[in-house]
Structure 1
Amino acid sequence: MNQAGNQARQQAGNQQPHAVVIGGGIGGLTAAIGLHASGWSVTVLERAASLEPVGSGIGLAPNSQRALDVLGLGARVRALAAWEGDGGLRAQSGRWLVRTSAAEAEGTYGGSLVMLHRATLVDLLVSALPQKSLRTGTRARLTDPGAADRRAVVATDDGDIEADLVVGADGINSAVRTALFPAHPRPVYAGFTAWRFVVPAPDQAFTPHETWGRGGVWGTQPLKDGRVYAYATARLPEGGRAPDSEKAELERRFADWHDPIPGLIAAVRPEDVLRNDVRHLTTPLAAYHRGRVALLGDAAHAMAPSLGQGGNQAIEDAVVLAHHVAPGADLAAGLAAYSAARVPRTTDIVRRAARAARVTHLTGAPLVAVRDALISTASRLGPNLIMRSFSSIADWRPPQAPYAAGTTTGAAERSTGATDREPVQR
């Protein structure tokens, strides 16, 4: 074996099984933490020279918070995050269609949504990894998925690494997915593009909200550090770019929407606006594993952001995978159990996100008026009618305990910022 392979084997030891995670995003880092906690030696291979997450926020719903609780990280996440209190859904004019509250969320989902910057979450996850397990600036390619009688092989510029388990967490354009299932259709354009940015909070007070307009969506969410995470989507042809700047494009499309949207656009620097076409995997995989390799996150089930579940489902995947592939157990059976647990749930969420995206991006004025009227009417009949539509996603529990979100501990934690769980130690 070459030098890289020897180093990996030395790290793993003679008896401890070795897992290689390809991709240092939220799902890959969470998987590495979970696998390490269950007894695996782990190596995370990230192509980028450094982990510098894009300048955007991420909302963690109660389902992913419970998964992080299993790893001892839930309390730390909630302490770093802004808790979503009163908020809701607005029309383009600013009229409230649905008002929600933290109390309703606690009662319906067993917890509240929390919002934090992606960089904050990534830093926390990296701090929980075993030392020297993260290798950045490392291109990795799966060359052999392995089998019961042989280890998997990952090629790097420094040589090949053999692994008892490989986790493909390399995102929507996953090369690991292509290697495992070369004939499977690739992700397709969802019909809309997205913008994201983070700016200082405006002087005027505002209530967190998502706004559904004609052919587009706007979201305004506060972060704990005094900044605001804003996101927008619009139905546009694939591959387009603004002729001047993406800030100017936001001004053209959203500057006449309700406050605080115009002020947020005015505050952002043009170079800080991120734009990405949205793609999703509309043809589901039959399984998320083959040989000694498992897929998770966008590599397995890329979805539209309409339900805010992309990162949340990656975190769920990671914790469920670690649960089913305990060292010393039957790996093939564990990977099959992982697929059996994750494929039906994530396939359903991908489809629900696609349906939600179609509703939020209606372009015809009559249809938009009907949509808004129906939502407003449903809200007046009972706010929980709207929230209950999301409850089958947010009330998920991991297969292992303990977790604080969804218990009285989770509610108390809002004021104390603590639970009885200790963080994972390196």
Structure 2
Amino acid sequence: MVSRVVVAGGGIGGLATAVALHQRGIPVVVLERAPEFREIGAGLSLWPNAMRALDSLGLAAQVRAAGAVETGGGVRDRAGRWLSRTDNAAIERRHGWPLVVVHRAELLRILVSALPASSLRPDSEVHAVAQDGSGVSVTHRGGSEHADLVVAADGLNSILRRQWWPRAAGPRYVGCTGWRAVTKPLPRLEVEGAVLWGRGERAGFTVLPGSRYYVFGAVTAPRGAAFDFPRHFAGWPDPLPALLAAVPDGAVIARDVHDLPPLPTYVCGRVVLLGDAAHAMNPILGQGACQALEDAVTLAACLDGPDVDTALERYDRVRRPRTQSIVRRSARLDAVAQWTWPPAVLARDLGARLTPARATLRAMEPVLGWTVG
């Protein structure tokens, strides 16, 4: 039986893990390198599998109230014509939860509020972990901690993954720069949210609470390329140019997109990887945070058993094949989205237009149909 856990990383996955453990009466400490627990990102899509994970934590209703339900959407081409439509009502009927779009800061606030202040240790960047027969010792900026288990939820460039998986390949650049932003409050647009696919570039938008919009996209480019995104997408179909014009100055967050090659295991002794530290993926499916939430509740459920090592083996057996499959699926879709050769783009768009909506829903079933257990 685990008696104390240290979580390295105070993002969505780390905090959700701490909430799940705290609710089971397991003492937990979250070490976050930033001076406070906050999220500087933009919007976030929470698909039914993520809402189911949040429901197991008793937080789904709060998150739904803090977000906006996506009632329609789909993919358009560069001219604004529909290529495919997403039947969000059918998704909710089938999976019990809608697609909810929430600001990352709101989700983080809800997770933080579900934990006692004594569990939260900001300004405590983890430096190293040592394992011995009596447990795990964690050295961090503020001192040290001892526990039965360390959860490495410290992101794409995880320090603990480098320490305990030294032969593992590092993050790989997928060939595009991703960007996202939130607009100022605007009058409600009479248009459904959508993703627009061009030649080696894409952009999308959806509504957020407070009359704001979440805008996002990606541009195929060499590593480190810089873009003026409002100017770059100025000639795209309405309402994208108007939405980008409504983004406050300096508020576009742009980063080169990376994913992680598959690891042979997510467990090394009493150190376990979770979220992006384990399986960073291309954001095109909107599943990065969703999979971190699944990881969190699955790990906590596995730890209900009496033997920690057996619990970690089960977590690895359950989570690694699923998350690595979604990493591959995201990579395949992104490769198609990055096509630039006009005949290939034309064939891609025609194929999307001819694919029945019910086939799209069936294709999403393995991802969205996840259940806690």
TM-score between the two structures when normalised by the length of structure 1:
0.85
Distance 2:92 2:322 in 1: 22
What is the Cα deviation at residue 361 of structure 1? 1.3
SS at match of 1:391: helix
The 5 A counterparts of 1:17-32 are: 17-32=3-18
Query: Of 24, 28, 34, which aligns to 1:42?
Result: 28
Q: Matched residue of 2:101: which SS? A: strand
1:237 aligns with one of 207, 222, 226: 222
Give the deviation of 1:240 after TM superposition: 1.8
Q: Tell me the secondary structure at the aligned position of residue 49 of structure 1.
A: coil
Bigger mean CA deviation after superposition, 69-78 or 297-306: 69-78
The code of the aligned residue for 1:69 comes to: D
* SS of structure 2 residue aligned to 1:366: helix
Q: Which residue of 2 aligns with 1:417?
A: none
CA contact (8 A) 1:254 1:261 kept: yes
**1:7-406 matched pairs, under 5 angstroms:** 17-146=3-132, 149-203=133-187, 204-242=189-227, 249-281=228-260, 283-326=261-304, 329-378=306-355, 382-399=356-373
Looking at structure 2, the residues matched to 16 and 277 of structure 1 have their Cα atoms a distance apart, in angstroms, of: 38
Between structure 1 and structure 2, the one with the greater Rg is 1
Note the aligned Cα RMSD (angstroms): 1.5
Separation in 2 of the partners of 1:89 and 1:65? 23
Shift of 1:201: 4.9
Q: Distance in 2 between matches of 1:390 and 1:359?
A: 17
Measure how far apart 1:241 and its partner are.
Answer: 2.2
Q: Do the aligned partners of 1:16 and 1:41 also contact (CA within 8 Å) in 2?
A: no
Query: Which amino acid in the other structure matches residue 387 of structure 1?
Result: L
Aligned residue type for 1:334: A
Shift in Å at residue 16 of structure 1?
7.8
**What secondary structure does 1:191 align onto?**
strand
Q: Deviations over 1:21-69 (max 9, x none)?
A: 0000000000000111122101000000112312401111111111111
CA distance in 2, matches of 1:102, 1:66: 16
Contact conserved, 1:58 with 1:115, CA < 8 A, in 2?
yes
Q: Judging changes above 3 Å, is the alpha-carbon distance between structure 1 residues 221 and 145 closer, same or farther for their aligned structure 2 residues?
A: farther
Letter in 1 for 2:47: A
Cα deviation, residue 225, structure 1? 2.0
Deviations 1:187-236 (A, max 9, x none): 11011001111013544422111111111111101012211000010100
Whether the 8 Å contact between 2:127 and 2:141 is mirrored in structure 1 is no
1:157 is matched by which residue type in structure 2?
R
Contact 2:41 2:104 in 1 (8 A): yes
**TM-aligned CA deviation for residue 329 of structure 1:** 1.1
The answer to whether the Cα contact below 8 Å between 1:199 and 1:267 also exists between their aligned partners in 2 is: yes
Cα distance between partner residues in 2 of 1:369 and 1:201: 36
The CA deviation at 1:85 is 0.5
- How many positions carry a matched residue from both structures? 372
How far off is 1:363 after superposition? 0.8
1-structure distance, mates of 2:94, 2:55: 19
State the identity as a percent. Answer: 43
| Equivalent-residue separation in structure 2 for 1:79 and 1:251 (angstroms) | 31
Deviations 1:98-147 (A, max 9, x none): 1223322224444321000000000000000123210111121233144x
Cα contact 2:2–2:149 (8 A) shared by 1: no
Whether the 8 Å CA contact 1:108–1:387 is kept in 2: the answer is: no
Gaps of 5+ in 2: none
- Stretches of structure 1 lacking an aligned partner (at least 5 in a row): 1-14, 243-248, 400-426
